[in-house]
Amino acid sequence: RQSARLYYVQPVGSANKNQAGYRFDRNAAIDNTELYELNTANGIYEIQPDFTNLTDYERSIQAGYAIFGGEWKKFGYQAGIRGEYTDRVILFGQTGDTPFAVDRTDFFPSFHTSYQFPSGQQMMASYSRRIERPRGWWLEPFITFTDDFNVRSGNPDLLPEYIDSYELGFQTFFGKNVFSAETYYRVGNNRVERVRSVFAENITLRRPENVGTDYSLGSELMLNMDLTQKWNLNLLGNLYNYRIEGGLLEEAFERESFNWNMRFNNSLRGNRDLQIQANIGYNSDTVSSQGRREGFVNTSLAVKHSFLEQRLSATLQIRNLLGTEKFEQTSSGPGFSTFRTSDREHPSVML
């Protein structure tokens, strides 16, 4: 991996400044996947060529940006634009010498503004556009069996997701505590999901696909306060209407759900060397391009103790503390219908 960055800042008057920069990132990797099967006749593990693959991956991204921002009385503002050039080449040994190449230029504008009230309250509005690139292994088009009834593969033609986000927020302080509320509208183009289809009789294939466009309209609330000198409470809630539409397996679809998530974090200090954190969260039901995922609760506990004048520490983490992480998901398409469940009855402990 190689990277380089260059920054430039120019003050303009006492409250404004210009910023510019350049960034270069290059990643290269070779992945060699091999499958061996035991020959019971001679006791030797023999390579299986149909499931042995070589991937040569190289990607470079060059980005330049310009930002102007500052303050005028109680107003703060910042406007900018970032341009990115992506050069990516992937060679798959099994599929011949034809590369899967990307030669693409993208632009990402952004705008942020704020107003400071005399009482210390603040209102903010913003727009931004960002990109979510596919993970590397999502691009490898090789079949891998995960069990007797499921196979998976990647998709080298996968496009990145582009998200346009519009936000309006309000923040107020009372003592050292803070409360914020934000309303947002987000549009995601080229939405990526792992799609199921029929691979063979009683066997389904999971493959990442660009399924369409999703829309989220909702509000996010946050309260951070100190109940005592040693007890910090952080409560977050997110309520939004979610809709996804597009085309999949030669069929148009549109699904919608009202979603809500919450997270309740407690941080406690016993003394200078002891810290305790207990968290509980809930994720509601939500739809996808092919079905629905049911809601679930997650709980965790962490205890950290320092020794030897804080030069040594031990941390105990317990995830799924109450054994409530039960995932249920239904999906359907041409020629199949599936129900998947994963019931994690026991906590996981790490020291």
The three-point CA angle 315-320-326 to 5° equals 160
Reported as a single tens digit per residue, the pLDDT across 260-282 is: 999 999 999 988 889 999 999 99
Q: What is residue 139's three-state secondary structure?
A: helix
CA 321 to chain CA centroid, nearest Å:
24
Kindly indicate the confidence band of residue 345, based on its pLDDT and cuts at 50, 70 and 90: confident
Answer yes or no: is pLDDT of 305 > 70.
yes
Around Cβ 345, how many Cβ atoms within 10 Å? Answer: 9
Find the mean pLDDT for residues 272-299: 93
Confidence category of residue 54, pLDDT binned at 50, 70, 90: confident
What tokens were used for 91? Answer: 């060679």
Cα 169–chain centre separation = 22
pLDDT at residue 97 tops 70: no
pLDDT at 344 > cutoff 80: no
Among residues of the chain, what percentage have pLDDT more than 70? 99
Lowest-confidence pick of 80-94, 249-263, 266-280, 332-346 = 332-346
Calpha distance 256→244 (Å, rounded): 6
Paired tokens of 122 = 């603040």
- The first and second tokens of residue 35, run together, are 């499958």
Interval 94-100 mean pLDDT: 67
DSSP reduced 3-state for 316: strand
Residue 236 pLDDT = 97
User: What is the rounded radius of gyration, in angstroms, for the C-alpha atoms of the chain?
Assistant: 25
Q: What is the pLDDT of residue 78?
A: 96
Residue 34 CA to residue 29 CA, distance in Å, equals 16
94 pLDDT above the threshold of 80: no
**Distance set, CA 271 to CA 57, 176, 265, 276, 311 (Å):** 50, 21, 19, 10, 16
Q: Are 302 and 280 in contact (CB under 8 A)?
A: no
Contacts of residue 37, Cβ cutoff 8 Å, sequence gap at least 6: 45, 46, 48
> What pLDDT band is residue 244 in, cutting at 50, 70 and 90?
very high
Is 80 exceeded by the pLDDT of residue 70? yes
